[in-house]
Structure 1
Amino acid sequence: MQNITFNNGNTMPQLGLGVFRVENDDTAKNAVKHAIINGYRSIDAALVYANEEMVGQGIQEGIAAAGIQREDLFITSKLWLNHYGKDNVQEGYETSLSNLGLDYLDLYLIHWPGTNESLMLETWEGMEVLYNEGKVKNIGVSNFTIEQLELLEAKTTIKPVINQVEFHPYFTQESLRNYLASASIQMESWSPLMNAEILTDETINAIADETGKSPAQIVIRWNIEHGVVTIPKSVTPHRIEENINVFDFSLTEAQINRIDALNQDKRIGPNPTEFNG
């Protein structure tokens, strides 16, 4: 597993398991457990996914089954909008810790910027308090635009280590990617497989045939070639195994360019400048 290094010197696995839209039952528990047994060391959760309890059980069972320690894992969760505001952040954080059955998180994100800039800034101040008090290892944001990140940097003290955003071959966000690189903020992609929509693309399938890999592996590898952290979601054991098996091959520059050329500026999620929960 490859790691990336944050602007604060800490590291994170470049590939992890996403659990968005996974039921809070044995489905979530078994997916997380299976992922950990098969080499995943990063799990991306969120309070609003309403499945942290079973994700947490999967983490505990995965740790036991894989013979590893909690410190070997990198666990992310996210603050939802009902806990925004400086004085509410700690309650949101502790709720996720309790749900997950953990003593700390490796990464805590503001899930969406929201449409109230002053509230967003106050919320980040609450995130800074958590970080400065040593309660969380790293803090970052999700779904932030360049303008929102520039405002954050101008008005606050600690720079986010990461921005988790929509990123896939139909929505390559080149300007945001370039900005994040220049600002030393890591980019992370949610729903990199577009809820499986991208897997039927002709170009992706042609490159899969050329390399002897699956379409999903091609897209995940494309993320990695761009230096993006990625968290494909699956609850199917063989797909969980397949999705992590992307470190034994590379895409050529020509293949990367062909995938880049698929961009349509097509979102499958909300526009961050308009979404407020």
Structure 2
Amino acid sequence: MNRLNGRTLGDTLKTPAPGFRRTLTAATVAALLATAGCSGQDSGTGSTGGTAPPATSATAPPAATATTGATPLPTSAVSTAPGGAPAEAAGLQTFTFPDGHISFAYPAGWKVQTKQGPYLDEASKAGSVEAVVLDQSGAEVVSISSGMYGDGAAGRVERTVLDRAPVPGIIDATGKPAEFGFALDEVQPDGSSYYFMDVRLASEFLPTQESSGSNQVPLANGIMAAYVVFDFTRQPVFASSEAAKAWMATEQYAQLKSLLLSLKYA
């Protein structure tokens, strides 16, 4: 899924991944850089249920008019050592999926809601769960699915990786490492573009990458898909590469990166 409910990281920002609800909105990068600090809410989880949503896909979304901006995040919630010191010591909370396998740390004042993830049959339904992370304003900013089935499509792109880092807690079912990445894909041959920020196999962040690939990571309990929720209807999210790089210096970026780096599979 790739869109924030109500407001978006696009209201807070803008970019692609299969099926976002509300996106991180994209007001102005200037406002995004100039402000920081919001009030918090209690964390919590919901119950799963409902019919199966469409499967996550790696197909690139169509390009659209760019706008920029993002809702600032509280400074106190930034973790300086994802996967290191206990989350509580860094002012964070920990969420663990119902089956006990995937966990991650998120800022105090944010909350996590769970819902039914994609499934093929009744036997696999219970094990497929999507955790939607909402920031202190109530905007959906991150989606993490666990135990779902995998499918999707990919196309040819020219990828520019702006940031990448190992996610030590996630190794795929065949022993391949996973990485966090923030990147820009220019779809070939039409030249449309989109930004994405997610966790995928490390091999997809190499300079030689020419396929849009997928953020689906196969684990022992099924597929994991973890990504920041950008508004794919408003591509390419940032008005320029300079604006995207400027966002990387903000607290919001640090918060989101820290959350994805903290992912662990047990």
Same fold, judged at TM 0.5 (above): no
Q: Which structure has greater strand proportion?
A: 2
Point out the structure with max Rg over C-alpha: 1
- Shorter chain as denominator, the TM-score bin is under 0.3
| TM-score normalised by the chain length of structure 2 | 0.28
Q: Which structure has greater helix proportion?
A: 1
| TM-score normalised by the chain length of structure 1 | 0.27
- The structure showing larger relative contact order (alpha-carbon pairs under 8 Å, at least 6 residues apart) is 2
